[in-house]
Chain A
Amino acid sequence: MSTYKVPTMAEMAASGDSPEILFWVGCAGSFDDRYKTVTQAFVKILNKVGVSFAVLGPEEACTGDPARRAGNEFLFQMQAVANIQVMNGYEVKKVVTACPHCFNTIKNEYPALGGNYEVIHHSQFLQQLINDGKIILQGGGEFKGKKITFHDSCYLGRANDVYEAPREVIKALDVELVEMKRCRTKGLCCGAGGAQMFKEPEPGNKDINIERTEEALATGASTIAVGCPFCLTMMTDGVKNKDREHDVKVYDLAEMLARDMGI
């Protein structure tokens, strides 16, 4: 019997190995019960495809993104510099992460602190695997022919101009991709960016995730696809708030692929 492997960088280094990619799990991917299933789905895909990867495991720490956006530059840099020391220690070259906030921070902000890596979001990585024929979809999976809408994450889209990779992944599932009124460069935030995830919203007349969920529901899609742990939480809460959790699901791209692959 062969089980899923989740090697750590430390284990790899101990056996004199180094993986092709470091899978940066992120805090949501490590601790959030709902998002852990996304992490697991992505690891299953990596196993299935035979990608040489490792994780930092307990050596990983928050990238510092929410601290920096909330204004606490000291705390951000403490996290960042420590992470960079660990990654440089393992001579990491290539990083893949499912979190657009981690993606943005490591890709754009770590270089100024001495961390230079090729950083890829899991949507781009999955698209590449599909294009290279390494992920072969059965066709006729549970999403086939269904209406699916993709919610652009700000830190993937506007922040880093990644709009097509997640859509290509969704299209590979042989579904009907429907766009919300505000999409791509005009996509509406889920409400969690800029450290909003970690506090109550300021006074207003509506929560941002409700506004966005209404827009997603208006497409008639049965699945709202996301590529970000915060968006996943916000949209899931929005769907619950609208009492639609029975017929509308919120999934991350990796989960959808894994389901289609039957793993």
Chain B
Amino acid sequence: MSILPQLVFLLIFAIAAYILSKRIKYLRRNIFLGKGETRNDHPQERWKTMLLVAFGQQKMFKRIVPAFLHLLIYVAFVIINLEVLEFVIDGLTGSHRIFAPFLGAAYGVAMNIFEFLAIAVLVSCVAFLIRRNVMKVERFTKPEMKGWPSLDANLILVIEIILMFAILTMNATDQILATRGVGDYNLLNTLFFSNLIRPIFEGMGDATLIFIERFAWWFHIIGILGFAIYVTYSKHLHIFLAFPNTWYSNLKPKGEMVNMPEVTNEVNMMLGIPTGEGNEPPAEIGRFGAKDINDLTWVNLMNAYSCTECGRCTSECPANITGKKLSPRKIMMDVRDRAEEVGKNIDKGGKGLEDGKSLLGDYITKEEINACTSCNACVEACPINIDPLSIILQLRRYVAMEESGTPAQWNAMFQNMETSFSPWKFAPTDRFNWADQLKNEEIK
């Protein structure tokens, strides 16, 4: 037997691995365009969060129908990948179904489980295609979904459907050949699902069947390798990034805004409070708030690359629900798009961040961030703990402190607070007037 197929397989595998490693390096570099932030505290709680939220899909179950369909695809993805291991070994050694002799009857059982999962993926993907394209579920048809995002979503579903068909075709033809006693094909217990499509192939000759079986095998494994590379360009990256993304979740109360110590130093100096740090101004004061992606933290950028654009955040956002421009999903998509633009530009030897563009202004407008009520509905809604609010608030800080560009009514509120220590224009001396009447009222 020729070892040519093995060499071809090795070559394809090596090329795929090379491209993948380049892509991973690229994504990693882009994510670390963000500012440093240490989030290694409470490791136990972090592992628990990852297990529950990413591995256990906990937050998906707020919406039961998509949660169930998604769970099927997710379980299938994890388990069918075990079969890919066999594919790779077979491909490299020239064996065929190398695990079959070792596992005996259990192998047939496993194959039936895989086939059941393949069918489950098929059904779920079709259901998802219907939800997107026929039922037009509202959160999939928002303005930010026009063009590539919608195509990306449909492509993923179609690719998954085709890959599952390849598995079933491979198993059906493989078992016909085994029944006929051709070559090294192992006869397994009845495979219920691929059995259903066997009639399509029964009339074909051995050579045709071998060709179809081999074609399906190669198609499936190359398809999977290709899909893995595609994922790095796609919103589908969540299948990997959901795990680190949940591990690095914000564990603090959602209402807490991150302090700006560089401001605290100045405030203490202004109020004449010893800072304990020798009252020396910090060597370099960076930008206040965020104007571009490098002002955000790497966690914000990882959030953006983890987002699969499901739109649960946007569908729960009070501003979006009432027709405002703000869409938390768009915030995440904009951050990723800008990071991609900068990353590609750097790789081409271009100006990168200094290209005259910025996240705020060229991607996200003030009207959007000004519409946010900081209600945390988006943060709560995200199945993998992405935090769009953190980004919105950092952008607001830039607008207020670097541009003085807040809306006039907010400026008036600032002025009231500065002069009368209340957001409303009341005399501070009147603050305690509410008690006057009470102090003369008899206790009943």
Q: Which of A's residues lie within 8 Å of B, judged by CB?
A: 1-6, 8, 25, 27, 29-32, 36, 39-40, 43-44, 47-48, 55, 57-58, 60-62, 64, 66-75, 77-79, 81-82, 85, 104, 107-109, 112-113, 154-155, 158-161, 185-186, 188-189, 191-208, 210-212, 262-263
Min distance, Cβ B344 to any Cβ of chain A, angstroms: 30
| Partner-binding segment picked from B13-21, B74-82, B256-264 | B256-264
- A208–B270 touching, CB < 8 Å: no
Min distance, Cβ B231 to any Cβ of chain A, angstroms: 31
- A154–B373 touching, CB < 8 Å: yes
Task: List, in ascending order, chain B residues with CB within 8 A of A44's CB.
Answer: 438, 443
User: Taking CB as reference atom, which chain B residue is nearest A78?
Assistant: B267
- B373–A193 touching, CB < 8 Å: yes
Given known contacts A74-B401, A208-B318, A159 and B253 CB-to-CB distance under 8 angstroms:
yes
Q: Which of B's residues lie within 8 Å of A, judged by CB?
A: 62, 252-257, 259-261, 263-264, 266-268, 270-271, 273, 288-289, 316, 318-319, 321-326, 367, 370-377, 379-380, 393, 396-401, 406-407, 409-410, 412-414, 417-418, 421-424, 426, 428-435, 437-444
Q: Give A132 to B426 CA distance when docked, in angstroms.
A: 39
- B271–A78 touching, CB < 8 Å: yes
Residue pairs across A and B with Cβ atoms less than 8 A apart, 9 shown, are A4-B438, A4-B441, A27-B424, A66-B413, A75-B417, A199-B413, A201-B322, A211-B318, A263-B443
Q: Which among A40, A112, A196, A263 is the interface contact of B434 at CB below 8 angstroms?
A: A40
Q: Which among B254, B267, B393, B434 is the interface contact of A81 at CB below 8 angstroms?
A: B267
- A113–B322 touching, CB < 8 Å: no
Task: List, in ascending order, chain B residues with CB within 8 A of A48's CB.
Answer: 443
Q: Give A159 to B273 CA distance when docked, in angstroms.
A: 31
Q: Which among B257, B261, B374 is the interface contact of A154 at CB below 8 angstroms?
A: B374
- B271–A82 touching, CB < 8 Å: yes
Given known contacts A73-B263, A74-B263, A108 and B256 CB-to-CB distance under 8 angstroms:
yes
Task: List, in ascending order, chain B residues with CB within 8 A of A67's CB.
Answer: 413-414, 417, 423
Min distance, Cβ B354 to any Cβ of chain A, angstroms: 24
Q: Give A211 to B406 CA distance when docked, in angstroms.
A: 26
User: Taking CB as reference atom, which chain A residue is nearest B425?
Assistant: A31
Q: Give A36 to B430 CA distance when docked, in angstroms.
A: 12
- A62–B422 touching, CB < 8 Å: yes
Q: Give A8 to B400 CA distance when docked, in angstroms.
A: 35
